[in-house]
Amino acid sequence: MALLEVKNLGISFGGLRAVDRFEVEIKKGQLYGLIGPNGAGKTTVFNMLTGVYKPTDGIIKLDGEDLVGKKTIEINKAGIARTFQNIRLFSQQSVLDNVKIGLHNQYKYSALTGILRLPKYHKMEKEMNEKAMELLKVFELDGKADFLASNLPYGEQRKLEIARALATNPKLLLLDEPAAGMNPNETIELMDTIRFVRDNFDMTVLLIEHDMKLVSGICEELTVLNFGQVLAQGKTKDVLNDPEVIKAYLGE
């Protein structure tokens, strides 16, 4: 059974059909790519998968659980986490606190416990600090735990955003143009990071990306969107050599 199963997914904004009959199946442990020209509907698909938009029609199932109609926080708890094309860190919070924010859906205590700093509060804070530092160490950011997130170089901010997403303990990680704004060396390092996350966190990854070197370098299968509809699907090499994809997407 596929980890993510999407069938006949569509959404309309007024009279505009932004995405129509989108379908995809992603197996557990896959590195899967969603590509297409600007305005093809890729981020709209991500927004439906994460509850930002409610689909007009269609089915979204994660590990057999129906997600359509659920709120973003419910979908996150079900096992989907995402990053954004424009990095959305808490820039004036520390690197450590950014990751701890991702952990909060796994730790619950009452307002009174927090206000009075009761033993349960201190126990949970200690556990969260330890887990957050473990994640930061994986991304070689533990030495900068006390830095403001805004003071990290761009590539490390991307890593921090991925670390925060992983802190929510997802089954499926959605990466929205993770290489945006990166230089070639940072992109190569990002590719290694994504592979590491898949292999060491038992993670399934779905990414939107325009950098074809990254896409061809790490994605095992692709779906191509064009004008809100699936243009092609399959193994990465086959899809990138499809004449219709070349015509519509690569402009050659």
Residue 240 lies in a domain: yes
Tell whether 45 is covered by a domain. yes
Residues 237, 131 share a domain: no
145 and 177 housed in the same domain: no
Identify whether residues 250 and 140 lie together within a single domain. Answer: no
Q: Is 96 domain-assigned?
A: yes
Q: Pick the last residue of a domain from 120, 146, 169.
A: 169
pTM: 0.87
Boundary (domain end) residue, out of 169, 190, 222: 169
Residue 176 sits in the same domain as residue 119: no
* 186 and 243 housed in the same domain: yes
Cα–Cα distance, 32 to 250 (Å, whole number): 19
As a whole number of angstroms, the distance between CA 100 and CA 104 comes to: 7
Same domain, 184 and 237: yes
Q: Are residues 71 and 1 in the same domain?
A: yes
Residue 252 to residue 243: CA distance in whole angstroms: 9
Look at residue 141 in the predicted model and tell me its pLDDT. Answer: 93
Quote the number of domains for the chain. 2
Residue 232 lies in a domain: yes
Identify whether residues 123 and 23 lie together within a single domain.
Answer: no
pLDDT for 119: 64
Question: Which of 102, 134, 169 finishes a domain?
Answer: 169
Task: Report whether 176 contacts 82 (CB < 8 A).
Answer: yes
pLDDT in tens, 80-130: 999 987 788 888 889 999 998 888 766 555 554 545 556 665 677 778 888
My answer on whether 238 and 194 are in the same domain is yes
* Residue 14 in domain: yes
Note whether residue 85 is domain-resident: no
**215 shares a domain with 184:** yes
- Bin 104: left if φ > 0, else alpha if -120 < ψ < 50, else beta: alpha
Kindly write down the DSSP assignment for every residue of 170-219, as one continuous string.
Answer: -SEEEEESTTTT--HHHHHHHHHHHHHHHHHTT-EEEEE---HHHHHHH-
Domain span at residue 114 reads 91-169
DSSP H/E element including 127: helix 119-138
Whether the CB-CB separation of 232 and 34 falls below 8 Å is answered with no
- Whether residue 39 lies inside any domain: the answer is yes
Does residue 55 share a domain with residue 1?
yes
The CATH number linked to 236 is 3.40.50.300
Nearest-angstrom CA–CA distance, 131 and 193:
19
Which residues, given as ranges, of the chain have pLDDT below 50?
A: 112, 114
* 84 within a domain of the structure (yes/no): no
Tell me: do 220 and 192 sit in the same domain.
yes
Give the C-alpha distances (Å, rounded to integers) separating 179 from 4, 185, 186.
23, 11, 8
